[in-house]
Amino acid sequence: MPTEMILDPAAAGARRFEGKVAIIAGAGQGIGRAAARRLGQEGAAVMAADLIEASAERVRSELAAAGVRAASFTGNLSNLENCRALMVRTKAALGRIDVLVNVVGGTIWTQSFQYYTPEQIAAEITKSFWPPMWLCSAVLRYMIEQRAGAIVNLATHAVASRYRVPYAAAKGGVIALTTSLAKEVAQYGIRVNVMAPHATQADDRVTPRNAGVGLAASELPPDERTERDRFFGDGFVGQRRGEFIDLEIPMKRFSRASEQAAAIAFLASDDASYITGQVLPVGGGATYPF
Amino acid sequence: MADSGSERSRPVLDARAAGARRFRDKVVVVAGAGQGIGRASARRFGEEGASVMVADIVAESARKVAAELDAAGVRTGTFVGDLCELKDCQALMARTREVFGRIDVLAVIVGGTIWAQPFQYYTPEQIEAEVRRSLWAPMWLCWSVLPYMIEQRAGAIVNLATSAVVSRYRVPYAAAKGGVIALSTSLSKEVARYGIRVNVVAPHGTDSDDRVIPRDYGLTIAGTKLPAEEVEERARYFGGGQFGGAPFDVGDSVRQEVPMGRKAEAVEQAAAIAFLASDDASYITGQVLPVTGGSTFPF
């Protein structure tokens, strides 16, 4: 790899994924894109999968420009058929599947639970619970056949926070999916772990949280809106600092997506060869309940 | 790669690093570096470019590990002392600062159960010896390093816990390590403001092919005479090795507790220690990372 094309300097020269094939599900922006860059930096061939074609293609082309073998896949990964198609496509394009990183997901709305409509709740579960479930289900036969593989799912510190109950519940489910699946597949040499991020700055967000959802936001009473906005500040890259940073995070700052990617890369690599069924909180020191 | 040709031709201390140099220009103290996980950590840190202070209670062990690192072109120092004693911990930090100019990372490996038997067979003297080794060493080491790291406004500490906290035959050791977990989690919240991170690696049974120092090194306390059936049961539990189980048997501890069905290699623990000590974990503090082959860890 030419030294002028560094995708992630934090790798510090490591090539832990040389000869490996990694799927990043939800690679188009934020933590997913950072993970694709880190694994590519360390020698992986990368399948960049995203709901948004332009996002998947952008990441594929920036990896390719740095000399990484890369392919892209576009599809809604809340649907099992698309998850299966992703695996078939990866096997065909890159020959095997060593690593699956499930970044797809993320809360669509933020508000107290009573303001969520049933349709909104269903949409949150569709977006954050079903992709890891279907992706894990779809990848297993390949990894069992190989007698090797590493899966990294994403959880969230929202499980111990506010204003995102349906999302939190979905991610609680992802944690249990991971911990119980880990015990079943250890015998095949497959590891399954969770990385649980807290507040992460995604300067590169271009796809809105409600992309493809087609539901209206709730009308919130002014005091509820004020309180929520005080809690979050004006967005994760805005000027006004959210209260939750001081309330929940001893480091008192947001994380960079590359810091989350570093933890994902660790769990996906052979450095974690004796680690499975675990939750690694990357939360600036916040206490994590699992 | 930016590495020079001479660096590339040096002996490889840990192939798992896969070329990474995350500790280039960093100074790392490995407390309990003489064998096992400590030695593997020293080798991993050295492989990744750190200057390493090799500290151990046994002079010959410290010298041997330092020599291995030296041969691979790593800047090393050695310190010999009893790290259950505060004054030795303070001397270690002063010495490191004098030799290398700073202290970026402290890896606290010193500790480990001395005996293994049901709680009722421990004598009060044995219990105190276990707590002295496995609680006081991390306590004094963390306390001794803090002034340096606070002054630098940077630092990373990795302490070791153990899956023994949910296992058997090592209650005093388990209690000491429970204390180490709480030391780490509460200290991390205090020192986050100074840019210092404190985390824990919690290993399950780890093979140490290089163990030469007995668990009761330096102690004058006798072991307990156990009834024959206790000895048998314990041997079944721990399998082959120092507690007299069948050779090559992983033991009930692995069969019952470890989904991967095998013990860890020391380098696997070292990889996790290096991760938490590195900038790859720059947003991680106050956490316990179980390196346990899939067994459930309660914290």
Interface membership of B194 toward A (CB under 8 Å): no
Interface of B with A in 16-45 (CB under 8 A): 16-22, 24
CATH class of B21-208+266-291: alpha beta
Contacts of B270 (CB under 8 A, 6+ apart): B14, B37, B40, B41, B43, B44
Catalytic residue among B122, B148, B169, B173: B173
Q: Give the tens place of pLDDT for each residue, A132-169.
A: 999 999 999 999 999 999 999 999 999 999 999 999 99
Q: Which of A18, A183, A266 sits opposite B294 (nearest CB)?
A: A183
Q: Which residue of B has its CA nearest to A8?
A: B280
The pLDDT, as a whole number, for residue B8 is: 55
The answer to whether the beta carbons of residues B79 and B99 sit under 8 Å apart is: no
> Which domains are seen in chain A, by residue range?
14-202+256-282 (3.40.50.720)
CB contact under 8 A, A285 and B286: yes
| Residue whose entry in the numeric block shows the structure tokens 């994760």 | A236
Q: Which two tokens stand for residue A247?
A: 């309330």
Give the residues of chain B that fall short of pLDDT 70.
1-8
Q: Give the tens place of pLDDT for each residue, A187-204.
A: 999 999 999 999 898 878
What amino acid occupies position A133? M
- Cα A211 to its chain centre, rounded Å, is 16
Listing DSSP states for B135-198 in one string gives IIHHHHHHHHHHHHHHHHT-EEEEEE--GGGGSSS-HHHHHHHHHHHHHHHHHHHHHGGGTEEE
The answer to whether the beta carbons of residues B24 and B275 sit under 8 Å apart is: no
A167 part of the active site = yes
Q: What is the mean pLDDT of chain A?
A: 94
The pLDDT, as a whole number, for residue B207 is: 86
**Mean pLDDT value across residues A42-63:** 98
User: Is the pLDDT at A236 greater than 70, yes or no?
Assistant: no
The pLDDT, as a whole number, for residue B242 is: 79
Distance separating alpha carbons of residues A88 and A96, to the nearest angstrom: 10
The pLDDT, as a whole number, for residue A238 is: 53
Q: Which residue of B has its CA nearest to A288?
A: B287
The pLDDT, as a whole number, for residue A61 is: 98
Q: Which residue of B has its CA nearest to A260?
A: B283
The pLDDT, as a whole number, for residue B145 is: 98
The answer to whether the beta carbons of residues B43 and B299 sit under 8 Å apart is: no
The answer to whether the beta carbons of residues B294 and B258 sit under 8 Å apart is: yes
Interface membership of A188 toward B (CB under 8 Å): no
The pLDDT, as a whole number, for residue B56 is: 97
Name the nearest CA neighbour of A48 among A31, A34, A58, A60: A60
Q: Which two tokens stand for residue A253?
A: 């700052």
The pLDDT, as a whole number, for residue A235 is: 61
Buried b / exposed e across A157-183, counting CB within 10 Å, b at 16+? bbbbbbbbbbbbbbbbbbbebbbebbb
Distance separating alpha carbons of residues A245 and A76, to the nearest angstrom: 32
Buried b / exposed e across A237-258, counting CB within 10 Å, b at 16+? eeeeebebbeebbbbeebbbbb
Interface membership of B224 toward A (CB under 8 Å): no
Q: Which residues of A touch B259 (CB under 8 A)?
A: 182-183, 186-187, 276-277
Interface of A with B in 19-48 (CB under 8 A): 42
H helix intervals, chain B? 5-8, 36-47, 59-71, 86-100, 124-131, 137-152, 171-191, 228-238, 251-257, 266-277
Residue A263: which pLDDT band, with cuts at 50, 70 and 90? very high
User: Is the pLDDT at A170 greater than 50, yes or no?
Assistant: yes
The answer to whether the beta carbons of residues B114 and B89 sit under 8 Å apart is: no
The pLDDT, as a whole number, for residue B214 is: 86
Q: Which residues of B touch A38 (CB under 8 A)?
A: none
The pLDDT, as a whole number, for residue B7 is: 52
Interface membership of B256 toward A (CB under 8 Å): no
User: Is the pLDDT at A3 greater than 60, yes or no?
Assistant: no
Instruction: Decide: helix, strand or coil at residue B280.
Output: helix
Distance separating alpha carbons of residues A30 and A261, to the nearest angstrom: 10
**Mean pLDDT value across residues A83-105:** 98
The pLDDT, as a whole number, for residue B5 is: 45
CB pairs under 8 A between A and B: 130
